[in-house]
Structure 1
Amino acid sequence: MTARPRPHLPMRPAWLCRNCAAPWPCGPAQLDLTAEYYGHSIALAFYLAASMHDAIDDGYRLGLRPDLPAMHARFLGWLSVARRPRRSPRR
């Protein structure tokens, strides 16, 4: 029997990946989220924006001063690369 791969989920309040310990969303989490939300890019953006808000709140609760532009880049900056517009074929 083969072991199932462990999901790349956030560990709060540090917002590190439970699997690889990289800042979440790590590369594998981005791929998983892109597949999970395929065709629903607005829902993915809302989910990530809410997660970013929670991560910022957790940072302040821990006594940190989160770097807001870096948080935006980390949580939402990669979305434009992952999003693929649907185009109807031209005739």
Structure 2
Amino acid sequence: MRPLWRCRNCGAEWPCQPARLALLAEYRHDRTALLLFLGALMTEASGQLHQLHPDRRLDLTERFMSWARAR
């Protein structure tokens, strides 16, 4: 749900755990493409969330990127 960046199914911050699992499965053979996709979405989310909360400093790296890095 944009611009709130919450899951339509569970209401948690997106990407929620089910979304993360689905993305990992979808991009299982191309982790670089997943990270590029998430980076683009993080940039979009940052702009939209900043408009909603201009007084808050948002660091979305953990939420969007850190979990998707190869272990």
* TM-score w.r.t. length of structure 1: 0.71
| Structure with greater helix share of residues | 2
Deviation at 1:67, TM superposition (A): 1.8
1:66 and 1:15 mapped to 2: Cα distance? Answer: 16
Letter in 2 for 1:12: R
Give the match for residue 77 of structure 1: 66
Deviation at 1:59, TM superposition (A): 1.2
Residue 67 (structure 1) aligned with residue 58 (structure 2): yes
RMSD over equivalenced CA pairs, Å: 1.3
1:72 and 1:19 mapped to 2: Cα distance? Answer: 23
CA contact (8 A) 1:59 1:66 kept: no
**Considering only CA atoms, is the larger Rg found in Structure 1 or Structure 2?**
1
Deviations 1:39-84 (A, max 9, x none): 110000001011110110001222433422xx1000001012xx36
CA contact (8 A) 1:56 1:66 kept: no
Q: How many residues align?
A: 70
Gaps of 5+ in 2: none
| Structure with greater strand share of residues | 1
2:23 and 2:57 mapped to 1: Cα distance? Answer: 24
CA contact (8 A) 2:50 2:58 kept: no
1:20 and 1:38 mapped to 2: Cα distance? Answer: 24
Gaps of 5+ in 1: 1-10, 85-91
- Structure 1 stretches of at least 4 aligned residues deviating more than 4 Å after TM superposition: none
